[in-house]
């Protein structure tokens, strides 16, 4: 009888823990607009031009928010499409893991870390330029965390090399996933 009671107590504790863990989870829409103006220290330098293709260096300083800065750059420089990579140091970040049932990103908070990989593209969705980034960072214990970039606050520096292309890319809403996906055949 004691074993049965212990088993019931353990199941109840696990159920309570699972409920508590799920109650703490935060989710974000895959099509949420980005707020610009949160990267006031970002500097831009044109590195090269080949026809209509241009390559720039974006340098973020301590406290700059990278998604905001990438979006602001795309708007200010009238980017039609682009691709980029980056390195640097992160004070804090939020990664997203896409939950197919909820059709939203589960937010994963990441502490101070070093960027191990940062890669993305720029395309237009509903008339607005969208920077779509995936990344991974290594925390002080050497563990790597990452996913879809929701927010990234720069440490001393984050350096991104971005190449803009003359051909526009457009996204359309995929109703199955409630997400904007690039459609190479879309003309606007």
Q: What is the pLDDT of residues 28-70, one digit of tens each?
A: 888 778 899 999 999 999 999 999 999 999 999 999 999 999 9
> pLDDT value at position 32?
79
Q: Long-range pairs for 57-60 at CB < 8 Å and ≥24 separation?
A: 57/159, 57/160, 57/161, 58/84, 58/86, 58/159, 58/160, 58/161, 58/162, 59/157, 59/158, 59/159, 60/88, 60/154, 60/157, 60/158, 60/159, 60/160
Structural class in CATH, domain 26-182: alpha beta
Q: What is the pLDDT of residues 70-122, one digit of tens each?
A: 999 999 999 999 999 999 999 999 999 999 999 999 999 999 999 999 999 99
Q: What is the pLDDT of residues 159-184, one digit of tens each?
A: 999 999 999 999 999 999 999 999 99
């Amino acid at each position: 009888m004691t074993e049965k009671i212990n088993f019931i107590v353990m199941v109840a504790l696990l159920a309570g823990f699972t409920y508590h863990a799920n109650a703490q989870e935060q989710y974000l829409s895959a099509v949420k607009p980005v707020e610009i103006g949160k990267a006031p220290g970002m500097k831009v330098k044109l590195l090269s031009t080949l026809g209509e293709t241009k390559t720039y260096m974006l340098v973020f300083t301590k406290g700059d928010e990278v998604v905001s800065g990438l979006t602001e750059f795309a708007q200010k420089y009238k980017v039609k499409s682009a691709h980029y990579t980056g390195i640097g140091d992160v004070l804090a970040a939020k990664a997203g893991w896409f939950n197919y049932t909820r059709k939203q990103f589960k937010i994963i908070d990441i502490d101070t870390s070093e960027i191990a990989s940062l890669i993305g593209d720029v395309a237009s969705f509903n008339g607005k330029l969208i920077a779509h980034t995936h990344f991974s960072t290594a925390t002080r214990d050497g563990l790597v965390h990452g996913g879809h970039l929701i927010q990234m606050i720069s440490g001393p520096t984050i350096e991104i090399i971005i190449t803009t292309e003359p051909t526009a890319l457009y996204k359309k809403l995929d109703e199955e996933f409630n997400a904007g996906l690039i459609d190479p055949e879309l003309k606007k």
